[in-house]
Amino acid sequence: MGRKRTRTWKHFYLCFVCLIAVLFFAGCGGAGYRENLLRSDRLLARGDYEGAIEENRKLLSEYPDRPPSDNALFNMGLIYAHYGNPRKDYKKASGFFWELIKDYPRSSKIEEAKIWIGVLNTIEETRSKLLERIKKEKEIEKEEERPEEKQPVIKSLLRGEKLMIQGDYEKALAENQNLLSKYKDNPPGDDALYNIGLIYAHFKDYKKARNSFKRLLKDFPRSSRVKDAKIWLEVLNVIEETKQIDIEIEEKKKELR
């Protein structure tokens, strides 16, 4: 099982590197749709999300039923899922990935699209769980059978999760770190660790995010957060590997220049 997964990831990375290499060398010639794809990449790197979307829309209109529309669909999914996009829309992102899978079953982007769909589903499920817990905040506080000493703990956890939903990640991090310092080996330390991992992933501090999720798996093996933590660890590993590939590609570009 482990070896099979390793082979799948290696295949994914190889496809990714090959695709980038093809785009780069073809782009040097300034030919056709490849230039659109390269422009899209540059615009996305600069944070011009609308410009990048427009480039890919052009490709979709010019090549409605054939490649490179599969690449354009994949790029549109990435743009709408991008953490920095002020108009990010996970539902739209998933829609583009599903369209790619449906219309281009032989595309080299299929496996990556499936991975992203899994990631976006996890994010949405986590968000739904947080919202549901906050809705129950008043009910929890009214439970007469709950010991009074537990009330501050529940309030602290809910407060941290509220701050995450509101986008105040600095205060959410402080709230969860404070909670973790008090409950290192007992719940809700597992919830605090999971939230801390999410926050560090948002800040792109992937090393600290991974450490938080790993600690959760080690210290709280029976936690309800274990499954989601494992998914996030896989996602963060892919991000780090892709980052390394990008560095190697840039080095090759410099050599060629």
| CATH number of domain containing 96 | 1.25.40.10
Domain-located, residue 151: yes
Helices (H), the chain: 2-28, 32-45, 49-62, 69-81, 90-103, 110-135, 137-142, 151-166, 169-182, 189-202, 206-219, 226-256
Query: Do residue 170 and residue 76 come from a single domain?
Result: no
Instruction: Please report the pLDDT score of residue 152 as a whole number.
Output: 76
Query: Do residue 90 and residue 167 come from a single domain?
Result: no
Query: Do residue 157 and residue 224 come from a single domain?
Result: yes
Please give the full DSSP string across 17-83, using - where no structure is assigned.
HHHHHHHHHHHHTT-HHHHHHHHHHHHHHTT-HHHHHHHHHHHHHHSTTSTTHHHHHHHHHHHHH-T
163: left (phi over 0), alpha (psi -120 to 50) or beta: alpha
Query: Do residue 95 and residue 6 come from a single domain?
Result: yes
Amino acid 136 reads K
Query: Do residue 107 and residue 157 come from a single domain?
Result: no
Instruction: Please report the pLDDT score of residue 2 as a whole number.
Output: 47
Query: Do residue 140 and residue 116 come from a single domain?
Result: no
DSSP conformational letter for 148: G
Instruction: Please report the pLDDT score of residue 151 as a whole number.
Output: 67
Domain-located, residue 255: no
Query: Do residue 90 and residue 153 come from a single domain?
Result: no
CB 245 within 8 A of CB 16: yes
Which CB contacts under 8 angstroms, 24+ apart, belong to 45-52? 47/84, 49/79, 49/82, 49/84, 49/85, 49/86, 49/87, 52/79
Instruction: Please report the pLDDT score of residue 185 as a whole number.
Output: 86
Domain-located, residue 246: no
Query: Do residue 154 and residue 117 come from a single domain?
Result: no
Into how many domains does the chain fold? 2
Tell me which residue range forms the domain holding 85.
Answer: 2-121
Question: Which tokens is 85 given?
Answer: 């996009």
Query: Do residue 110 and residue 140 come from a single domain?
Result: no
Query: Do residue 208 and residue 165 come from a single domain?
Result: yes
Which residues contact residue 31 at a Cβ distance below 8 angstroms, ignoring those fewer than 6 apart? Answer: none
Residue-wise pLDDT tens for the chain (257 aa)?
A: 545 444 544 454 444 444 444 333 333 333 567 888 888 888 988 889 999 999 999 999 999 889 999 999 999 999 998 878 889 898 999 999 999 999 999 999 998 898 888 888 878 887 777 777 676 655 555 544 445 445 677 778 888 878 877 778 899 899 999 999 989 888 889 999 999 998 998 888 889 999 999 999 999 999 988 988 998 888 888 777 776 766 776 777 677 76
Domain-located, residue 129: no
Query: Do residue 87 and residue 162 come from a single domain?
Result: no
